[in-house]
Amino acid sequence: MERQKLGPACDSPAGSWGYSVISSESGTAELPKVISVDDHVIEPAHLFETWLPKKHRDKGPKPFTAGIGELAYVGGKYRFTTDPDGQITDWWEYEGLIFPYKRIIAAVGFSRDEMTLDGITREQMRRGCWDPKARLADMDLNHVEASLCFPTFPRFCGQTFAEAEDKEVGLACVRAYNDWMVEEWCGDSGGRLIPLCLIPLWDIDLAVAEIRRNAARGVRAVTFSEIPTYLGLPSIHSGYWDPFFAACEETGTVVNMHIGSSSQMPAASPDAPPAVQASLSFNNAMASMMDFLFSGVLVKFPRLKLAYSEGQMGWIPYALERADDVWEQHRAWGGVQDLIPEPPSSYYYRQIFCCFFRDKHGVEAIETVGVDNATFETDYPHVDSTWPHTKQVAAEHVAGLPEDVTYKILRGNAIRMLELPFDQG
* Range list of β-strands (E), 377-418: none
- Do 53 and 22 have their domain in common? no
- The reply to whether 277 and 326 lie within a common domain is yes
Question: Collapsing DSSP states into helix, strand and coil, what is residue 87?
Answer: strand
The reported pLDDT for the residue numbered 3 is 26
265 touches 233 (CB < 8 A): no
Residue 15 lies in a domain: yes
Average the pLDDT over 389-416 and give the result: 98
Same domain, 273 and 286: yes
72 found inside a domain: no
Residues 16 and 49 in one domain: no
Mean per-residue pLDDT of the chain: 91
Indicate whether 23 and 153 sit together in one domain.
no
In sequence order, which residues have a C-beta less than 8 Å from that of residue 279 and are 6 or more positions away?
none
Q: Would 123 be classed as within a structural domain?
A: no
What burial letters (b/e) apply to 63-82, b meaning 16+ CB within 10 Å?
beebebeebebeebeeebee
Do 3 and 144 share a structural domain?
no
Residue 28 pLDDT: 55
CATH number, position 227: 3.20.20.140
Strand order in the sheet with 29-30: 2-5, 19-22, 29-30
What's the rounded mean pLDDT across residues 161-166?
A: 97
- Rounded to a whole number of angstroms, the distance between the first and last alpha carbons of the chain is 22
Is residue 26 domain-shared with residue 137, that is, in the same domain? no
Q: Supply the range of the domain harboring residue 188.
A: 32-58+128-418
110-134 pLDDT tens trace: 999 999 889 999 999 999 999 999 9
Based on the structure, what is the number of domains in the chain?
A: 2
What does the pLDDT read at residue 277?
Answer: 81
Indicate whether 26 pLDDT > 50. no
* Amino acid at residue number 27: G
pTM of the model: 0.91
Q: How confident is the model at residue 75 (pLDDT cuts 50, 70, 90)?
A: low
Q: Are residues 39 and 26 in the same domain?
A: no
176-186 pLDDT, tens digit each: 999 999 999 99
Statement to judge: residues 401 and 276 lie in one domain: yes
In order of 28, 209, 245, 247, the CA distances from 178 in angstroms are 42, 13, 19, 17
Question: 31 pLDDT band (50/70/90 cuts)?
Answer: very high
Residue 308 φ then ψ, to 5°:
-95, 120
49 and 20 together in one domain: no
Q: Tell which wins on pLDDT, 14 or 303.
A: 303
155: in domain: yes
Q: What is the pLDDT of residue 8?
A: 26
Tell whether 311 and 349 lie within a shared domain. yes
What are 273-283's pLDDT values in tens digits? Answer: 888 888 888 88
24 and 142 belong to one structural domain? no
Asked whether residue 212 is assigned to any structural domain, the reply reads yes
